[in-house]
A and B are shown apart, each in its own frame.
Chain A
Amino acid sequence: MTTANNTSQLDQWLNRDYEHGFSTAIESDTLPCGLNDAVIRQISAKKNEPDFMLQWRLKAFAHWQTLKEPQWATVRHPVIDYQAISYYSAPKFKEAPKSLDEVDPELLRTYEKLGISLKEQEILSGVAVDAVFDSVSVATTFKDKLAKLGIVFCSFSEAVQEHPDLVRQYLGSVVSYKDNFFASLNSAVFTDGSFVYIPKGVRCPMELSTYFRINAVATGQFERTLIIADEGASVSYLEGCTAPMRDENQLHAAVVELVALQDAKIKYSTVQNWYPGDKEGRGGIYNFVTKRGVCRGARSKISWTQVETGSAITWKYPSVILQGDDTVGEFYSVALTNHYQQADTGTKMIHLGKNTKSTVISKGIAAGHGHNAYRGLIKVMPRAEGARNYTQCDSLLLGDQCAAHTFPYIEARNASAQIEHEATTSRISDDQLFYCQQRGINPEDAVSMIVNGFCKAVFKELPMEFAVEAQKLLGVSLEGCVG
């Protein structure tokens, strides 16, 4: 097999169309474009929120107005007009659905096309799904089963109504409304999201999951997720994203907050496959996400796993603040950028407690004109005796127009800290391909093997349900290139 041939096969998969590109015709209850105090009051009123929420939103908005959009990331995009976005869009129902049977069948078909039929999932897979369609949660399953254990798993708006004390205590305690430009914006206008509370000593018996969809034209989606694992609790949470094909750019600025108290464990996995834009880089989702967890109690653990294949722009740094002693933070990531996609992603590990440990494994794959950047911070504070970090960030380059960058910041202020950072950048070498072919493996399989091997360290961290989807996603991307 010649290089020319390989290139054409590469091109084939690089040029594949977005598989999940379709949109659902559902009437939306949408606010007009624009953002001001009145809009925020309206959002809050529509959601029937208590006053503390409104005040918090207004404070966030006031702060946001003093901020400028950050320019430090290696992403390029036209200026976003925040006044041209509608900040609220809810699917309209004749009445609130009480069970899946009452859910708009059009909506259910959308999920089916994505291969996540709620019904099927409810019956067969045993996964509780809190499906978010645009901004309002439309169906929540398995609630009863979880309720028996005292687990709260509901939409954010429901949590505000039902558990205002928990929300008040933890909202903004990890990502404050002053945190950054996009987090402030989110705090002001977020419409819905998921809320999870695992009580003391409870191990959540199933994987919790949310599927996000962006549907209505020109609506930004501002999700807010808050997960609290009380002492000794453990939970695994899955987040998956697919979005229909759209021409104009859509903005998504989510915030995810995780709180792990003493001995608690939280595992947060993401597969993100939003519309990446077409081959010329038109359209696609702008994904500006703030994700952060805090290991507040001793011996707690937070683990982020992400597979990022979608979005025109991905800007996200899932982080862990290792506050308690003996806490553990992990970050496993595969980010694929193709065509004109840009990803600036990585993690922050802030070591505060004694004997805290963190592991960072990041795999970036850049193809076509894709730009892929790893940006990470490992910070060891003076009191973090015995802190330990291992970071590995590798990039694989496919095609001569793509770019891969690495910006690892390491700040060590404790002599007993042990920090290691390793990174490599390369393409699939002719030697590797030759070696495989020499042993009777055809080039397509060889490329597949090498790419899969490249990402293996991350995939093995995904829960079963997601590992399949992630491999499928990458497989789709590799099709044509690998037989």
Chain B
Amino acid sequence: MATKTLTGLDRLLNDYKPTIYPQLNKMQSDALLQLKEKGLPSLRVEDWKYTSIEAILNQEFHISKKNSLPSFSEADFLFSHFKGPRLVFINGQFSPDHSKLDSFEKGLRFKTLHQALEHSSESFKKYFGKIAKPISTSLLPLNTAMMQDGYCLEVAPNTILEQPIQVIYIQTADQPLALYPRNMIILGENSQARMIEHSWGYENQHFVCAVTEIVLEAGAQLKHYKIQQEAKTAYHLAGIYVEQQGDSQFISQAINLGAVLSRQDIEVDLAASGAHCTLNGLYVLDGHQHHDTHSRIDHRLPHGTSREYYKGILKESSRAVFNGKVIVHPKAIKTDAEQYNKNLLLSNDAEVDTKPQLEIFVDDVKCAHGATVGQLDPEALFFLRSRGLDEQMAKTLLIDGFMADIFDAMQWPEIEAILKTLLVIPHSHPGPFII
């Protein structure tokens, strides 16, 4: 299809098909217009200063078609022993066969994106496409223009879900796919839920450009765990956009292990007073992996609190980028914000570019941020070795210690145990990491 004269963006947009859903018409035409005017971000855009998507633009991708899907056994799923519903998307298509749909609790409603667009609920109509702000410099317009299937989850007010909801994305196609999942999560007033998202795939140069919009109505609580474990040849660029209403709580734990190029945009809007968010993350990279975390927290009204804690371990020629923005708007008095990024550089060829950023427009606030880059403490290594541990063991212990507070903050021992196995013992597909 593609000829030399086509730019990377043209090539990606080649597969664009006008939508059949009237409510998407304007959204998609706006997004296309934005893409045509501004193009995709280059290194000259401040928010993309350290992350180039050139490799994606030079690649040719296919769009996923319905075809026979491989079969998986229960053991192929990381959290197979967890009770509760499971949604499985294979090559971007929802796969009811692999999903567990019988264990939905009362008050939880699931639809695929297509179903939700066909029969929209009131709250879906109210929020869909409104949470992710067009001012964002992420790949949002690309996803909006090209969106494929995804999930839409609604939790009814005052519902407390016992079991976590699992969402699994698996990329198995034998040709490089461009995938544009689009998801929506709406938690009604005073509801509570836990979610685990896990994406992984077979060795191939897939390009995942995902967008998830999340709304927490007043008093709602969501714990969101995301494990990105794509093949180390894949590209994974995802955006999470959250709107929080009064006294709601959003807790995000992002573990990034896979993909040769990955980027996580996370934008949280504390739109009402008393809202709290925690954004934690861990990235462990080796080879020529490049991971970029871009977070933005907007404190708009009084008494908001936010905590951000990202840690990274870099081996070989990997590169990590962190940019955390906390913006305290003029009305947001009594805001309490903290933001930390700590990096462990284990190789001279690795690179860290970090920028914890504060923009504060009011006086009655408490904000702190910090960033560190360092290596294993030689004295601590010496201490351990003098007690008979070999070098590898001593290093492993220290690195374990470095990661410990991220795991502790998860407050969920089962997940912690699974993650630790991911970090040490190879999983059945590429992406494991041995320290």
Contacts and interface: CB of A to CB of B under 8 A. Distances in A.
Interface string A419-440: 1111111110000000000000
A208 interface: no
A398 interface: yes
B365 interface: yes
A421 B360 contact: no
A423 B341 CA distance: 12
B354 A410 contact: yes
B361 interface: yes
B373 A412 contact: yes
Contact of A419 (B348, B355, B372): B372
A405 B359 contact: yes
B357 A411 contact: no
B371 interface: yes
B351 interface: yes
B345 interface: yes
A118 to B, nearest CB: 42
Nearest to B319: A413
A402 B363 contact: yes
A44 to B, nearest CB: 36
Given A408-B371, A410-B354, A421-B372, A403 B365 contact: no
A417 B373 contact: yes
A400 B368 contact: no
A410 B371 contact: yes
B362 A400 contact: yes
A72 B47 CA distance: 12
Given A410-B353, A417-B374, A404 B364 contact: no
B330 A406 contact: no
Nearest to B372: A420
Nearest to B344: A415
A417 B333 CA distance: 38
Nearest to B376: A415
Nearest to A411: B353
A410 B371 CA distance: 8
A423 B358 contact: yes
Nearest to A418: B374
Contacts of B371: 408, 410, 419-421
B285 interface: no
A280 to B, nearest CB: 19
Which residue, B345, B366, B368, B375, has most C-beta atoms of chain A within 10 A? Answer: B345
A406 B357 contact: yes
Contact of B367 (A403, A417, A421, A426): A426
Contacts of A400: 330, 333, 362-364
Contacts of B351: 411-413
Nearest to A405: B359
B345 A397 contact: no
A216 to B, nearest CB: 37
B74 interface: no
B360 A405 contact: yes
Nearest to B314: A415
Interface residues of A, number: 35
B363 A423 contact: no
Task: Name the prevailing secondary structure of the B interface residues.
Answer: strand
Given A422-B370, A426-B367, A416 B375 contact: yes
Contacts of A416: 348, 375
Interface in B310-361: 330, 333, 343, 345-361
Contacts of A91: none
A413 B363 CA distance: 36
B46 interface: yes
B354 A406 contact: no
B45 to A, nearest CB: 12
B226 interface: no
Interface centre among B347, B363, B365, B374 (most CB of A within 10 A): B363
B373 A427 contact: no
B307 interface: no
Nearest to B375: A415
Nearest to A422: B370
B369 A406 contact: yes
A425 B365 contact: yes
A414 interface: yes
A399 interface: yes
A82 interface: no
A415 B347 contact: yes
Nearest to B378: A416
A420 B355 contact: no
Contact of B370 (A403, A413, A415, A421): A421
Contacts of B370: 420-423
A22 interface: no
Contacts of A422: 368-370
Contacts of B350: 413, 415
A89 interface: no
Given A405-B358, A415-B375, A427 B352 contact: no
A404 B357 CA distance: 11
A419 B373 contact: yes
Interface in A280-295: none
A407 B357 contact: yes
A421 B339 CA distance: 11
B360 A399 contact: no
Given A400-B363, A410-B352, A410-B355, 5 more contacts: A397-B365, A404-B360, A410-B353, A413-B351, A426-B366
